[in-house]
Amino acid sequence: MTARAQEPLVDIADLVIGYDTGTRQVRALDGASLQVFDDETLAIVGESGSGKTTLGMAAGRLLPPEAQLLGGRINVSGVDVTSADDAALRRLRHDRLGFVFQNPTAALDPTMRIGRQVALAMGGRPGPEAIAELLSRAELNEPQRIMRAFPHELSGGMAQRVVIAMAIARQPHLLIADEPTASLDASIREKVMATLGRLRAESGASLVILSHDLRLIARHADRVAVMYGGRIVELGPVVQVMQAPAHPYTNALLAAAAGNEAPGERLRPIPGTPPVLEARCEACAYAPRCALRQPRCEAERPEARRLAGREVVCHRAEAVIGAEQPTRQEAR
């Protein structure tokens, strides 16, 4: 992984994005800040509604029309995404970004053969040999047969590998994978993630994984960013964060994650529900669900600070680190 002294590939600062529902505006991001560096894999984790998909799609300004930028900035590979014109955005997406979406079948055109779709992703007029080579790199056997197939003729795992092949076709600087294995059988999730990780390493691109699957990201990420209430509440090396979390929400996610429990240990669901924000949260958004909350947590918005080798947004982080942690398997 590249040293942190260099300029970040992605620099997101105090990003605020709201969605207009027609009757009110709901904040998906409430001051999110994040940096992604060259040649690394960063996982962004959190419950549904935490803001991770909004943050990932904002990097390419791929949000729906009802999303409104309320503050902050995004710089990707030297391009100010928040102010770039359409031509600059098209160049950024075309030359530097690759996306792997949650539902591979929906990401493919059902009326077009796979070979034609891959050719369009590659640009120019690649020959059959070049298309077959790209599919083979994505670990698809019988690439000639797959090129002739329509999306509905492929399994979910095969379709996702096609999407991955298309995402890397132009050698992007940054790959963003939104729940890339959520629609796949458990038996092939690890294989697809291994393929994605290998292709990232071969190309030297950076990879951002948006996921709720803690076990998956623990084996494939260098750093992990935990999101809650539209903010990054903990960010650090994956082993460090998962073995000794500093935020009570990270701790609760680990305690609730199937597969991390010791024999005979019960999973502990997180009480309550994620917040729905209609304005800036002036307290700790996690306070209503937190067993460690104090009056300060319900009255003062916590800011990011360095602690024990990571960044954490919590007034009570020292108490979390000092508390006995739930038993869990090795992170990596």
Side-chain-side CA neighbours of 164 within 13 Å: the count stands at 29
DSSP secondary structure, 235-292, as one string: EEEHHHHHHS-SSHHHHHHHHH-TTSSPTTPPP-PPPS----BSS---S-TTGGG-TT
Q: Which residues is 210 bridged to in the sheet? A: 44, 178
Q: Strand, helix or coil at 123?
A: coil
pLDDT-based confidence at 329, cuts 50/70/90? very low
CA-to-CA separations, 2 to 6, 36, 178, 256, in angstroms, rounded: 8, 11, 23, 32
Q: Are 181 and 119 in contact (CB under 8 A)?
A: no
Bridge partners of 18?
Answer: 27, 68
- CB of 238 closer than 8 Å to CB of 13: no
Share of the chain above pLDDT 70, in %: 93
| Cα separation, 323 vs 144, whole angstroms | 56
Rounded to 5 degrees, what are φ and ψ at 156?
Answer: -60, -40
> How far from the centroid of its chain's Cα atoms is residue 236's Cα?
14
Per-residue pLDDT tens over the stretch 233-255: 999 999 999 889 999 999 998 88
C-beta neighbour count of 278 within 10 angstroms: 12
Domain 10-96+174-188+201-322 - what CATH class? Answer: alpha beta
Is residue 168 pLDDT above 90, yes or no? yes
**H or E stretch covering 181:** none
Question: What is the spatial distance between Cα 125 and Cα 87, in angstroms, rounded to a whole number?
Answer: 23
Please give the distance of CA 296 from its chain centroid, rounded to a whole number.
Answer: 31
Residue with tokens 């429990």: 261
pLDDT computed for residue 3 by the predictor: 44
Strand partners, 176: 99, 208
Of 27-36, 162-171, 215-224, give the lowest mean pLDDT range: 215-224
0.85 exceeded by pTM: yes
| Percentage with pLDDT > 90 across the chain | 73
In terms of Cβ atoms closer than 10 Å to its own Cβ (0-12, 13-18, 19+), residue 47 is middle
* CA distance readout (Å), 286 to 52, 290, 291: 16, 6, 10
- Pairing outcome for strands 41-45 and 206-211: parallel
List Cβ neighbours of 87 (8 Å cut-off, separation of 6 or more).
Answer: none
Q: For residue 206, what are its two tokens?
A: 């950076």
Query: Each residue of 11-70: pLDDT tens digit?
Result: 999 999 999 998 999 999 999 999 999 999 999 999 999 999 999 999 999 999 999 999
Reported confidence tier of residue 187, pLDDT bands at 50, 70, 90: confident
- Between CA 108 and CA 142, with CA 156 as vertex, the angle to 5 degrees is 85
Q: How far is CA 68 from CA 62, 65, 82, 109, 282, in A?
A: 12, 8, 11, 29, 20
Residue matched to tokens 């996306």: 99
| Minimum mean pLDDT range among 12-16, 71-75, 232-236, 326-330 | 326-330
Please name the amino acid found at residue 162: V
In tens, the pLDDT along 98-126 reads 999 888 888 899 999 999 999 999 987 89
Look-up: residue for tokens 């000794």? 244
Give the start-to-end residue ranges of the domains of the chain. Answer: 10-96+174-188+201-322, 105-171
- Please list the alpha-helical segments (H only) found in the chain: 52-58, 86-95, 104-107, 114-122, 128-137, 143-148, 156-168, 186-203, 214-220, 238-243, 248-256, 317-322
